[in-house]
Structure 1
Amino acid sequence: MASPAKARRPEEEGASVLETLPPIPLAIVIAKAGPRAAAALARASSTLRAAASGESLWRRFCADDFALDAPISPSGDSSLPSFKDAYKAWFQSFGMYPLALVKRVKVFWSSFKTWLCEYFPEGLRTLGDGISEAEIAVAECSLGLQLPMPTKLLYRFCNGQLHFGRDDFSYGVMGGYKICDQRYIVRLLPLAHHKIQNSNCIVVARSPFGEKIFLLDCLSGRLYVGTQYWKNDRETMSCMPKSLIRLTMDDDHGMPQDGLLLWLEEHLRRLQTGLIKVQSCNFPMISKYINLYPVQLPYCSSASMHGIKVRASAVFAPENSALADYPCKLSYCFSIRLSLPEAFVVDGKWYSSFQLQSSHYTIQIGDEVSSHVCKYGDRGKFPLLRCGEELFVYGCAISEALVPGSVTGYLTLVPWRGNKPSGSPLVAKIAPFPLRPPDYIF
């Protein structure tokens, strides 16, 4: 007598249904089910194991969850046998975080390093490797603070910029500018045991020269920059709108994002769109740096006369600003950039260079208007610009109210021929450019 058939469990019946599907529909079902379901199905039968272990399937999972285009280890220093192995390694390393946030941070660092590799390799060479979850836990214990989740991930992929060279100077990947004889070039700091006393803040970036310092409040996730009164009174200003910060993940607002992540992403956006660019310079120990002066409309103005191009823009200078003063004092540094693509004609004569004698600025802040004149001969030299070169002229304007302003003016130039002045002075217009408190402060 035949024995009664055993009752099938629901999961066995489900497995049987899947096994009857043609290869393409089966692959679609498993792909939509996701990597965890695929790993479980691979243990159900040999048929499903073959369907759930395909390299193309795990390539897709790696791309979707970790933005991987090759089966590499989380440290990036070795290749793994397959995309399935890569997914397993990455999930073991980062599975304690929302995978969408892991992908976002990885995409940021990959994109930033790609940009640096092409335009600023000197800065790329200063970036450190990421640190482990255990090292972050040790740092948090030493600091007595818990880092926001996005900041932890940022350090997992890159532990700031390395220290090297004389005077602890490095190419600051956050860029900078010059104000009179001061230069501010900001670099990212490694996660060190550096906490501001009696606060929830740690220092995440600063300039090696000058007094520019950026601080992350680990409790609120907000990023701050020190003002003119930072050293004595610990005065700071927020680097971005508070409304953008969220430290928890929910259905209404999406993934967590803190001030440091948003700040870095905005900096990268400005680099990728060409709003700011790398500039050659004559600073000691450095040949070029990321210049924070905007070079695109509407933040930059442009005018041309006799083939001489004049571009002008301003950058907000928090380290020279003060909120405690009444009224509040906001400082801007502005830059005038002259270029001479080719020889120019004045009164029927050709010239291949000119000398800058003076600059005249009219600054309007609200209803207040002030004028300033700078004569370069008073400094013992007249800047000379030749064909194919670019000349930077710097100035600084101080606002005494939280209102936008603008700058306009003109430059007095003397044409040169050979090695001496030749011809009458001419005027090059500086088109109006804005002085505006920014949404993001760098």
Structure 2
Amino acid sequence: MASPAKAQRRPEGASVLESLPALPLAIVIAKAGPRGAAALACASSTLRAAASGEALWRRFCYDDFGLEAPLAHGDFSLPSFKDAYKAWFQSFGMYPLPPVKRVKIFWSSFRSWLCEYFPEGLRTLGKGISEAEIAVAECNLGLVLPMPTKLLYRFCNGQLHFGREEVSYGIMGGYEYVNQKYTVRLLPLAHCTIQNSNYIVVARSFFGEKIFLLDCLNGSLYVGTKYWKEEREITACVPKSLIRLTMDDDHGMPQDGFLLWLEEHLRRLQDGLIKVQSCNFPVMARHISLYPVQLPYCSLASMHGIKVCASAVFAPENSAFTDYPCRYSYYFSIRLSLPEAFLVDGKWYSSFQLQSCHCTIQVGDEVFPYICKYGEHSKRPDLRCGEELFVYGCSISAALVPGSVTGYLTLVPWRCRQPRGRPLVADIAPFPLHPPDYIF
């Protein structure tokens, strides 16, 4: 009978850890975390070698900062993941690391989306500012910023201003209504303050009609209403139940209204609920449109190959809450598209002109019509194959209850710059008017 194998003896002077095989030792060091690994590396040359592996520090970088390459803050290349971790910890070690990772991933994702779909907006983003610059700003403001907001400015200090020609490049999106255009830009820290208050202005439209304010005491985000200039009336942009400014085991990491607002905006962009669209004004050739383009937030209908998309957006700058009764204001848009030629009465047409728009608006027990008739033939909007036509809607002031809009469009087939067929009707399927949880 063979005798049992003798246990391998530990080298004289070696610790229990040093005597472990490579795989168990790597697992132990990984469980110890970055600080534990750094401490073990000081114990002996054997542990130093085991705690300096690139795979180990790659994992630490990804777990704590979401890093997939050895880059310092600002995207400067570094020799190793261990150097990258050290650089990031030196820059952000004063904060809990989970919020740092969350904000870093948000800005990386937002920049990636802008790079692919809206590079005009990407090039307006400013660089992040330092902790010292934030401290100076807080001193000048006489306020202490919520932690999530500080981190947001550490990665991006709002949008740069290039002048009037950049009016449409607000990355928070906007909408057009008749001859009014609202596009919201993120502002640099302390770019605009509200004297004798706890508020800082974090975003606003180019012409200043629409303004977003962060309450630095409770972390809530607000937007000015119709009576902002006269009475400083505001309304919340983010559900207050989601806001928390401290980090604990029961409720998770801190999040203020500014961070939640930005994350929700990015989610809508990534999900395709809102998109970059073209409009009828050359100065605003492309912009992020806040009119929803997905069900159930919009309606879709098709007739004779003509597709009709209709939706509404809440307009806080035109809403009033001190009036009795309180009023919510909405703008609605109708977009027509013609993918290919259409057949009417046995004849093919490749374009049409819009004669009129008829809508029925219902809010609670109130029902009222909206009719828009267009002018002479030469002034009527026309649409050709492969194009999209934006039809301006109206402003709807309604009580604080959900509502809906439905209707139809009168169109005339068009050929050789002349009407060639009988008028036809394209339905506008019902689309909702609903007070939103998030306001943009």
Indicate the TM-score class for this superposition, using the shorter chain for normalisation.
Answer: over 0.9
Alignment of 1:4-403 (within 5 A): 16-76=15-75, 78-166=76-164, 169=167, 171-377=169-375, 381-403=379-401
- The one-character-per-residue Cα deviations of 1:134-174 (angstroms, maximum 9, x if unpaired) are 00000000000000000000000000000112377461000
CA 1:159/1:65 → structure 2, altered by over 3 Å: closer, same or farther?
A: same
3-state DSSP of counterpart to 1:177: strand
Q: Which runs of 5+ in 1 are unaligned?
A: 1-11
- Mapped to 1, the partners of 2:302 and 2:365 lie a distance apart of 29
3-state DSSP of counterpart to 1:87: helix
CA 1:170/1:94 → structure 2, altered by over 3 Å: closer, same or farther?
A: farther
TM-score norm. by structure 2 comes to 0.95
CA 1:103/1:177 → structure 2, altered by over 3 Å: closer, same or farther?
A: same
Q: Is the Cα contact below 8 Å between 2:414 and 2:420 reproduced in 1?
A: yes
- Mapped to 1, the partners of 2:68 and 2:208 lie a distance apart of 42
3-state DSSP of counterpart to 1:341: coil
3-state DSSP of counterpart to 2:151: helix
- The one-character-per-residue Cα deviations of 1:271-327 (angstroms, maximum 9, x if unpaired) are 000000001234354421000000000001101101010111110000000001101
Q: Is the Cα contact below 8 Å between 2:29 and 2:37 reproduced in 1?
A: yes
Q: Is the Cα contact below 8 Å between 2:165 and 2:283 reproduced in 1?
A: no
Give the counterpart letter for 1:99 in structure 2.
Answer: L
Q: Is the Cα contact below 8 Å between 2:312 and 2:433 reproduced in 1?
A: yes
Q: Which runs of 5+ in 2 are unaligned?
A: 1-11
- Give how far 1:378 is off: 7.1
3-state DSSP of counterpart to 1:361: strand
- Give how far 1:400 is off: 3.3
Q: Is the Cα contact below 8 Å between 1:184 and 1:210 reproduced in 2?
A: no
3-state DSSP of counterpart to 1:413: strand
3-state DSSP of counterpart to 1:33: helix
- Mapped to 1, the partners of 2:415 and 2:152 lie a distance apart of 55
Give the counterpart letter for 2:90 in structure 1.
Answer: Q
Give the counterpart letter for 2:281 in structure 1.
Answer: F
- Mapped to 2, the partners of 1:209 and 1:396 lie a distance apart of 21
- The one-character-per-residue Cα deviations of 1:47-70 (angstroms, maximum 9, x if unpaired) are 110000001100100000001111
- Give how far 1:81 is off: 1.1
- The one-character-per-residue Cα deviations of 1:362-405 (angstroms, maximum 9, x if unpaired) are 00000110011100117972000000000111212423311000
Q: Is the Cα contact below 8 Å between 2:356 and 2:372 reproduced in 1?
A: yes
3-state DSSP of counterpart to 2:72: coil
Identity score, percent: 80
Give the counterpart letter for 1:399 in structure 2.
Answer: S
Give the counterpart letter for 1:341 in structure 2.
Answer: P
Q: Is the Cα contact below 8 Å between 1:327 and 1:400 reproduced in 2?
A: no
Moved over 2 A (4+): 165-170, 281-287, 396-400
Please report the RMSD computed on the Cα atoms of aligned residues, expressed in angstroms: 1.5
